[in-house]
Amino acid sequence: MQKINPSEITPEHLYFSRRKFIVGAGALAAGTLVSFSCRRIEPAPPTGEDFCASAKATGSTDELGANLTSCRDITNYNNFYEFSLGKEDVAPLSANFRTSPWTLKVGGLVNKPRTYDMNDILSRFNQDERIYRLRCVEAWSMVIPWVGFRLADLLKEAEPLPAAKFVRFETLLDPDQMPGQKDRSFDWPYVEGLRLDEAMHNLTLLATGLYGKPLPPQDGAPIRLVVPWKYGFKNIKSIVKIDLVEEMPASFWMDYAPHEYGFYANVNPDVPHPRWSQSSERRIGELARIRTLPFNGYGEEVASLYAGMDLRKFY
Amino acid sequence: MRCPKALTHRIVFHVAALLPLLWLLWDLSQNQLTANPIREIQLRTGRYALTLLALSLACTPAYRISGLRQFLDARRPLGLYAFAYASLHFLNFMAVDYRFDFSLIREDLLEKRYAVAGFATYLILLALAVTSTRGWRERLGKKWKRLHRLVYVAAILGVVHFLWQVKADATIPVIYAIAVVLLLAFRLPHLQKALRKNNSKIKRQRSKPQLKT
């Protein structure tokens, strides 16, 4: 056995303190790993409690008899990556979002391009309540009492030219107010598009309110699109630009993952997302999972728009 | 006679391992599980299971570095807790979310790769949990060690399962992936050999009387 030089032997106090250090470091590493599995200590209190206190809707169910989703859930569970990737973090982070002054520019291939501010919009177009289902591509859904007007009415004022085939929408770009826009893994600003006939459809809304009140920031204030037969990500929020264009616009999600998110994005239980199924959904606030309906239950109104189209190909 | 210190350690260990579950139950009672509680339960039980599995894999490297036998003793209980949380995760999916609607489950589970990976992970953990007892160890003999090497496969599959269901924010799954890769890299044979050498150095030093300089 090799003789050990006395000077090589670790002094006892150092030996034990080194072990303590290693164990301590190990505990720190384990603790860090553990903390990633835990939610933060204080969940953000539901914001907009004043908002929900005076929330009103004329109906209590949609046309299929499903209950309205609670105001609290609609205003505290939001996919709005411009603010945060965390659904519950959007409301507190957007609390001070400035919605006034706000301009909405309508242009592109039109006879009468125009810039509106919100007062124009609210006075020129009759705002009505419409109770629609919203189905997220993540397979959860809500029933929402929107207040708004038909997109068709706005587009008719602009008088689209014959060359116009699509409508392109754009969200505000303002990383100071919208910290999520500093995340370069996404291509900001958020862009969405509709085919002209989809945009002119009676169901397609520009929403300015929710539960009888102006939209809160987390739900896309002051004006957003509602296309209830398509997945939620088509319902672009906080719109600043609407253009009539000839080419199919490339949307935010098409850019991000083209083989997962398509242009049409019609709700369809028979066309799965590449990585998860779309055949059922969780209705927020309800206990039982429900089967997803083709076109989110609006098939009667919109299926004809896609007659003859292979919806697996045009997803 | 059981050393009182060891008993305290064990109590602390079990309380710590159960804390995530208690936290979850508390949030459930306070309706603090977001607007989509079933999904939130799914995410949290899954993360707890993966974390405990990773901690279980960290035991042997921790032992090799520190020489503390307690780390080796922690492997089995950590693994079993990982299995327990994985079971809650699986049950939440089958019973609470899908209510045993097998036509719906079949579409999700059998057709979607993230679900297949998750199911495979669970089956491995089940096999390891069942054979974790001394009785099974004796019954299987040499094969036991080989069977339990499947824990590495479970860790990889678990991370892959987590990654495959991400929509856009892969931050946390990637962190787990890195952690698991590091833990597995640690087990590479030559690293093991090097550390064994170090270990015997420590053992020799301990057996010699300490010289005060």
In a domain, B24, yes or no: yes
Residue type, B189: P
Q: How many domains are there within chain B?
A: 1
Give the pLDDT score at B155.
Answer: 96
Q: Are strands A280-283 and A239-245 parallel, antiparallel or unpaired?
A: unpaired
Between the two ends of chain A, the Cα-to-Cα distance in Å is 74
**Which residues 6+ apart lie within 8 Å of B156 measured at CB?**
B180, B184
Interface test with B, best of A13, A18, A276 (most B CBs within 10 A): A276
Report the residue from A30, A36, A284 with minimal CB separation from B172: A36
The pair of structure tokens assigned to B91 is 């049950």
Contact A283, A291 (CB under 8 A): no
**Which residues 6+ apart lie within 8 Å of B84 measured at CB?**
none
Does residue A167 or residue B65 have the better pLDDT?
A167
Q: How far apart are CA A124 and CA A114, in angstroms?
A: 13
Q: Which residues of chain B have pLDDT under 70?
A: 1-4, 190-192, 194-195, 197-213
- pLDDT exceeds 60 at position A38: no
* B107 contacts on A by Cβ (under 8 Å): 272, 277, 279
Please state the rounded mean pLDDT for residues A164-179.
Answer: 97
3-state secondary structure of A114: strand
**Chain A nearest-CA residue for B162:** A275
In a domain, B198, yes or no: no
Measured at the CA of A224, the angle between CA A220 and CA A230, to 5 degrees, comes to 110
pLDDT digits (tens, 9 = 90+) for A267-292: 999 999 988 889 999 999 998 899 99
- pLDDT exceeds 50 at position A186: yes
**Which residues 6+ apart lie within 8 Å of A14 measured at CB?**
none
Q: Does B144 touch chain A (CB under 8 A)?
A: no
Contact A19, B67 (CB under 8 A): yes
In a domain, B66, yes or no: yes
> Helices B4-29 and B69-91, interaxial angle, to 10°?
20
What count of CB pairs under 8 Å joins A to B? 110
pLDDT digits (tens, 9 = 90+) for B146-170: 899 999 999 999 999 999 988 888 8
- pLDDT exceeds 50 at position A41: no
Phi-psi region of A101 (alpha: psi -120 to 50; beta: other; left: phi over 0): beta
Domain coverage including residue B82 = 5-184
DSSP string across B27-54:
HHHTT-S-S-HHHHHHHHHHHHHHHHHH
Give the pLDDT score at A46.
Answer: 47
Give the pLDDT score at A297.
Answer: 97
CB contact under 8 A, B211 and A6: yes
- pLDDT exceeds 80 at position A231: yes
Give the pLDDT score at B208.
Answer: 60
Give the pLDDT score at A242.
Answer: 98
Nearest CA-CA distance, residue A309 and chain B, Å: 24
Residue B96 phi/psi, 5° resolution?
-80, -45
Distances from the Cα of A204 to the Cαs of A192, A215, B155, in angstroms?
Answer: 14, 17, 47
Residue spans per domain, chain A: 6-306
Which pTM value belongs to this model?
0.83
Of all residues in chain A, the percent with pLDDT exceeding 90 is 79
> Was domain A6-306 assigned CATH 3.90.420.10?
yes
The pair of structure tokens assigned to A58 is 């004329």
Q: How far apart are CA B85 and CA B88, in angstroms?
A: 5
**Chain B nearest-CA residue for A6:** B211
Residue A104 phi/psi, 5° resolution?
-120, 115
Give the pLDDT score at A39.
Answer: 44
CB contact under 8 A, A282 and B39: yes
Contact A225, A257 (CB under 8 A): no
Does residue A236 or residue A275 have the better pLDDT?
A236
In a domain, B146, yes or no: yes
In a domain, B129, yes or no: yes
